[in-house]
A and B are shown apart, each in its own frame.
Chain A
């Protein structure tokens, strides 16, 4: 299971939710989502879960106090090196 799953994340300053899963293309499934700007995206108010295409994700904001960034970087590097081989 993805190491970040279960954490609350903010995607591209638009959608906040609990990270359900993510794949190798960074496609993201969020649950219990909320929209930061309901006026801009009114239809999203009725959505609980969503799938976000990885290529449109600009950045994902993680809760700072729950993340050891050094560990996360190490894990990401290892994973990328393994995928490279």
Chain B
């Protein structure tokens, strides 16, 4: 086997594998759409709420000022499908930019702790931010 044939073989093999992948993924797509998923999601949410209640975790928001422009927030909320996304969406919309984020989930609750800065350069006060966040959580 010389270099040229090895390269040719590699090209052929890669193309063949790519075709295989395409075939299989099309097949998979075809088989998509079973009705079982919808049932699952709802049950997940229900479970989460129940777990939280069991552990006594309450939804909570905490905001502190760690720098002139930076705030540190801690949010505990009930984990629901897509809730985190909505949270981020709302925060971004309102001009809060998350700099360093940490999200952990446990027992149906989600803990979000993050550094927040004002997206538009304005300084945020603790009180304002806290109120804002509480609003957000209620609405999502």
**A and B associate in one complex:** no
| Chain A interface (Cβ < 8 Å from any Cβ of B) | none
